[in-house]
Amino acid sequence: MESSRCEMDGGDAAAVQGILDRIRSEGGDGNGRIEAAREIRRLTKTSSKHRRLLSDAIPPLVSMLRSGSGEHAEVAILALLNLAVKDERNKIKIVEAGALGSLIGFLQFTNPNLREHAAAALLTLTAASSNKPTISAAGAIPPLIKILRDGSAQAKIDAVMALYNLSTLPDNITMMLQAKSIPPLINLLKSCKKSSRPGERIVALLESMLNFDEGRNGLVAEEGGVLALVEVLEEGSLQSKEHAVGALLSLCESNRCKYREIILREGVMPGLLELTVRGTPKSQSKSRALLQLLRNSPYKRSEFEAADTLENIVSNIVSKIDHEDRTGKAKKMLAEMVQVSMEQSLRHLQKRASLVCTPSEKPSKW
């Protein structure tokens, strides 16, 4: 702290020291500690300098989390949250001070404010790579997935982002699958805006999970699961589309005979073909690979009247898109494909209409 104090004048140094003295005063006035925590939150909201100067407040703030008082816990979480934002050292220090047990416990409280604040705090702490193994080992993943099911709209967003941060460790994907994460993720994907940042993170999580049999079985077992990914191809951002086509490709590559018909049945072709022309380089490559797996349609003519035409057009697109002008002939073939797949698209739209939720059911912040 000595070098930091050099950055302050006498008044600032005295003010910071006064706050630290009050937050450390366990035997003193409880209201004094609460006011000190509120002052720390205010000073660290936008000031990286104060995050450094007040980092010594982390241990007493963590002790406030364990006090058993809802008011003490709430002000302490908010102060710790601001101390951790954009400060890697403070993120690590908060975990080392023993905050995880209390934060994970608050995820399971009935108090919605504590649950929401705890989800936000864990999201911030998972942004530090060195914290990730400790956070998952402390048991954060199951309660975060429970938040996906019954948390507030904002808590669900923060839980998705925290799980995404944790998913960079392969063992954590296994933990998420064991905690039955596929159903709540699919439900959130159905209700959120497919091009939003939470939407991107949900599809990225699903793509990672479909590398495992348990993830593939869970997706197909969930009503509208494959359809939700197909809708991302049509409505998502470039990044979410890239994850969605990767997920579908992983599904089809794992067992072509088992999953090809399921994917085709959901009306994948229009969105997939458009992606071969307008997607990111990775999306285009994955789309062409998936088209190769899908192009020998298993449908009989009575089930899909345009199957032969579909196969021929897809075959032409796959063979020509690599060798000829992508923005010319590829777009013409795309238009033709959309025209001949009208029956399939209609089936897709009818199924989507039966699954879509009403506006009142959608989380307001998604």
Over residues 131-149, the pLDDT tens digits come to 999 999 999 999 999 999 9
Over residues 221-270, the pLDDT tens digits come to 999 999 999 999 999 999 999 999 999 999 999 999 999 999 999 999 98
Mean pLDDT of 117-139: 97
Distance CA 49, CA 90 (A): 12
Name the pLDDT band for 208 (thresholds 50, 70, 90): very high
Q: What percent of the chain has pLDDT over 70?
A: 76
DSSP state of 358: P
> For residue 261, what are the contacts with CB-CB under 8 A and spacing of at least 6?
298, 299
Judged by average pLDDT, the poorest of 36-40, 217-221, 303-307, 341-345 is 303-307
Structure tokens at 23: 């937050």
H helix intervals, 179-325: 182-191, 197-209, 213-221, 225-235, 238-254, 256-265, 269-278, 281-294, 307-320
Question: pTM of whole model > 0.85?
Answer: no
Name the pLDDT band for 360 (thresholds 50, 70, 90): very low
Show the domains of the chain with their CATH numbers. Answer: 195-366 (1.25.10.10)
pLDDT of 339 strictly over 90: no
Name the pLDDT band for 304 (thresholds 50, 70, 90): very low
Cβ–Cβ under 8 Å, residues 267 and 345: yes
Mean pLDDT of 4-26: 76
Distance CA 138, CA 82 (A): 22
Query: Can you give the pLDDT at residue 27?
Result: 62
Cβ–Cβ under 8 Å, residues 348 and 324: no
DSSP state of 357: P
Distance CA 337, CA 26 (A): 71
Structure tokens at 310: 């579909």
pLDDT of 57 strictly over 60: yes
pLDDT of 314 strictly over 90: no
Query: Can you give the pLDDT at residue 13?
Result: 84
The residue with greater pLDDT, 211 or 332, is 211
Query: Can you give the pLDDT at residue 348?
Result: 53
